[in-house]
Amino acid sequence: MYSYKNKNLYCENINLNDIAKDLGSPFYCYSSKILETKYKELTNALKEEDSLICFSLKANSNQSIIKTFSALGSGADVVSIGELKRALKAGIPANKIVFSGVGKNANELIYAIKNEILMINVESVPELKQISVQASNLNITAPISLRVNPDIEAGGNEKISTGKKQDKFGISIKEAIDVYELASNLDNIQIKGIDVHIGSQINDLQPFEQTFDCIVKTISKLKDKNINIEVIDIGGGIGINYTDEDALNINDYAALISKKFRSLNKKIIIEPGRFLTAESGILVTKIIYIKENESKKFIIVDAAMNDFIRPSLYGSLHNALPLTEDNNEKNIESYDVVGPICETGDFFIKNFKTSKLSEGDLLAITNVGAYGSVLSSNYNSRPSITEIMIKEDNYSIIKKRQDIDEMINQDILADWQKIKG
């Protein structure tokens, strides 16, 4: 829902140049309409299935984002007690929350068990035993699923691969039956489901099909052992089109789910994050300087890798739109869009081709609604930036810009450094 009107870039019905004048830059902007559209696109594709969408909070954990999905009936996939508390505070019912992650500590497990969440996705035998101990101490039965690792190559960036045997995630598919049998004999454990997640930004159906086949075979083997599975959690990983990728067709993905699982009569859980949020977000930033050397031109903007680290961390590709449109195709320039931080890795786009730009112009870096703000930091003592959400003719600040003094005052002097009066 980003488009040009009278040469100004709009989000829904709001002129982003006007917002920039009011708030300054940089800032994140999210379209409520896009968030709702992506959620409904997925629910419509899955309308014939007994399914639950559990929004993956790791993609974007702002309360307003979570609340948007909560109002649409979404559950949540969380990986920390912080995310669990965020989900509950935003109105997601505990019985729609799954708890993932390889390192849940005792306090996190206790909190999850006490709140009677839908299930805990177990990633190791030690974790399984710890859940049994804590659930027994509380005299509560803890519903669990085992996250299995199918040793399948999902493609894409190796830093977000999670389903190969050398990855830290899950229990080897070869050991899964034995671990399920162990779980069936532990106190205060209820076997509820099976879970798998092979990676992120996947735009090919083949890895999903291979994974789903592994799950079907495992469920069949469990049935032979009289171990019943009620829920199949197939994780997330649905890719999007950042620049010129062929994004996964969501209807083809849903058809594959139906083909592989419908005859089993199990509830299907899906944990999308990027798919639901990435396209909703832009990062608005102002050009400070345009610098040219003997090999290229640089646009130096006021946002930096501390605000949006994906290009630096993953080598991810993004596009940008000038907030003021110029259709002069004879005046195209090529720039590297970089930030002010003292690292070569502080860049957003390389070889960005656009109409000639000037200092003071504003750019919108696109598709940053997932893994943007949540990965930000105060590196170089740069305060966190404003975030806003737009709905039709209205916008609201959903995270205020951090004050520099507030940031510095988070530090505490050692006792012997304090002035004694």
Q: Is residue 93 part of a domain?
A: yes
- The reply to whether 214 belongs to the active site is no
Residues 238 and 339 reside in one and the same domain: no
pLDDT at 157 over 70: no
Percent of the chain at pLDDT above 70? 97
Q: Is the separation of the CB atoms in 380 and 306 below 8 Å?
A: yes
> According to the model, what pLDDT value does residue 151 have?
79
Q: pLDDT tens-digit profile of 26-75? A: 999 999 999 999 999 999 999 999 999 999 999 999 999 999 999 999 99
Q: Is residue 415 part of a domain?
A: no
Last residue of a domain, one of 243, 277, 311: 277
CATH of the domain at 22: 2.40.37.10
The C-alpha atoms of residue 238 and residue 363 are separated, in whole angstroms, by: 27
Residues 214 and 193 reside in one and the same domain: yes
Last residue of a domain, one of 227, 252, 277: 277
User: Please, where are the H alpha helices in 77-204?
Assistant: 81-89, 106-114, 125-138, 176-184
Number of domains in the chain: 2
Q: What confidence tier does 228 reach under pLDDT thresholds 50, 70, 90? A: very high
For range 208-234, the mean pLDDT: 95
Side-chain-facing half-sphere of 285: CA atoms under 13 Å: 26
β-pairing, 332-338 vs 297-301, is parallel
Q: Is residue 414 part of a domain?
A: no
Q: Give the domain range for residue 176.
A: 32-277
Q: What confidence tier does 108 reach under pLDDT thresholds 50, 70, 90? A: very high
Q: What confidence tier does 150 reach under pLDDT thresholds 50, 70, 90? A: confident
Q: What confidence tier does 23 reach under pLDDT thresholds 50, 70, 90? A: very high
Contacts of 250 (CB under 8 A, 6+ apart): 41, 42, 45, 238, 275
Residues 179 and 256 reside in one and the same domain: yes
Q: Is residue 400 part of a domain?
A: yes
CATH of the domain at 65: 3.20.20.10
Q: Is residue 418 part of a domain?
A: no
CB atoms within 10 A of CB 246: 9
pLDDT at 327 over 60: yes
156 or 346, higher pLDDT: 346
Last residue of a domain, one of 277, 292, 315: 277
pLDDT at 330 over 80: no
Contacts of 408 (CB under 8 A, 6+ apart): 381
Residues 36 and 18 reside in one and the same domain: no
The C-alpha atoms of residue 253 and residue 318 are separated, in whole angstroms, by: 24
The C-alpha atoms of residue 206 and residue 203 are separated, in whole angstroms, by: 9
Residues 86 and 156 reside in one and the same domain: yes
Sheet with 8-11, side-by-side order of all strands:
2-5, 8-11, 14-15
Residues 272 and 293 reside in one and the same domain: no
Measured in Å, how far apart are the chain's first and last C-alpha atoms?
A: 59
Q: Is residue 101 part of a domain?
A: yes
Residue the block writes with tokens 């110029």? 326
Spell 154-170 as b/e; 16+ CB within 10 A means b: bbbeeebbbbbeeeebb
> According to the model, what pLDDT value does residue 394 have?
97
Residues 207 and 163 reside in one and the same domain: yes
Residues 130 and 254 reside in one and the same domain: yes
Residues 269 and 306 reside in one and the same domain: no
Residues 81 and 181 reside in one and the same domain: yes
| Alpha carbon of residue 324 to chain centroid | 30
Tokens of 87: 């989900």
β-pairing, 267-270 vs 51-56, is parallel
Catalytic: which of 11, 29, 54, 342? Answer: 342
Q: Is residue 53 part of a domain?
A: yes
Residues 78 and 176 reside in one and the same domain: yes
Q: Is residue 421 part of a domain?
A: no
> According to the model, what pLDDT value does residue 285 have?
98
Beta bridge partners of 373: none
> According to the model, what pLDDT value does residue 245 have?
79
Residues 149 and 160 reside in one and the same domain: yes
C-alpha R_g of the chain: 23
CA neighbor of 345 nearest in space, from 372, 368, 313: 313
Q: How many helices (H) and strands (E) does the chain have?
A: 12, 21
Q: What confidence tier does 160 reach under pLDDT thresholds 50, 70, 90? A: low
